[in-house]
Amino acid sequence: MSLDAQYFAELYAGNDDPWAFRTRWYERRKRDLVYASLPRQCYARVFEPACANGELSALLAERCASLVCQDIDATAVALARQRLADVPHASVEQAHLPADWPGGQFDLIVLSEIGYYLDPTDWLQVIERAVASLTYDGGLLACHWRHPIAGCPQDGNEVHALLAERLPLYRQLRHEEADFVLEYWACQPSVVDLDETCP
């Protein structure tokens, strides 16, 4: 069973940064690696579910013309909206995956630290919806903590194993450390655009 909203409400109760995204070097370095792993300078439309308090969102906003963020928790949504208040091309919605997948196409979907909160059935639905909503030259970035988390139905290794098994995409990058794994998958075998310009 996937974890419900109460799990995250308890994490945010009395703490606006329960994973220490703002203060831990581990988190800052991982964000920088995610940012550096994006092969294109600019993306037209990006989707980031499970945006938490918006720390990664702020970086993603620098690389796109439109950013759609979601989180299951109302406190996280409010914090992310505050973090992105000066970013007019970003929106933050309260939503529950896989049911509340947004409409339209995306040329980048970022699944960061989300998969292990979902059971395999829900995670497979997320994978299917991601593939269906990618543009012809879109990409999917996934990054997850590799160790088991108490109460979570999967760990990061299992999450990425299902991605490898079910994504009909080309893996462009895999960065694996003792604590996390980061992968980028693309719809096309090459993502290099020599004439790329930012909007």
On the question of pLDDT at 30 being above 90, the answer is yes
User: Does 150 map to a domain?
Assistant: yes
What does the pLDDT read at residue 16?
A: 75
Domain that residue 121 falls in: 5-186
On the question of pLDDT at 191 being above 60, the answer is yes
User: Does 182 map to a domain?
Assistant: yes
User: Does 100 map to a domain?
Assistant: yes
> Residue 142 and residue 36: Cα distance in Å, rounded?
13
Categorize the per-residue pLDDT at 198 as very low, low, confident or very high, splitting at 50, 70 and 90. Answer: low
User: Does 78 map to a domain?
Assistant: yes
Phi-psi region of 167 (alpha: psi -120 to 50; beta: other; left: phi over 0): beta
State the pTM of this model: 0.91
Average pLDDT over residues 102-131: 96
- Domain with residue 141: its CATH number is 3.40.50.150
pLDDT in tens, 143-170: 999 998 888 899 999 999 999 999 999 9
- Report the number of distinct structural domains present in the chain: 1
Categorize the per-residue pLDDT at 195 as very low, low, confident or very high, splitting at 50, 70 and 90. Answer: low
User: Does 134 map to a domain?
Assistant: yes
On the question of pLDDT at 1 being above 50, the answer is no
What does the pLDDT read at residue 76?
A: 92
User: Does 191 map to a domain?
Assistant: no
DSSP one-letter code for 102: P
What does the pLDDT read at residue 156?
A: 94
Helices assigned H by DSSP within 86-155: 120-133
What residues contact 95, with CB distance under 8 A and at least 6 apart?
Answer: 49, 70, 71, 72, 102
User: Does 132 map to a domain?
Assistant: yes
> Residue 189 and residue 60: Cα distance in Å, rounded?
23
User: Does 34 map to a domain?
Assistant: yes
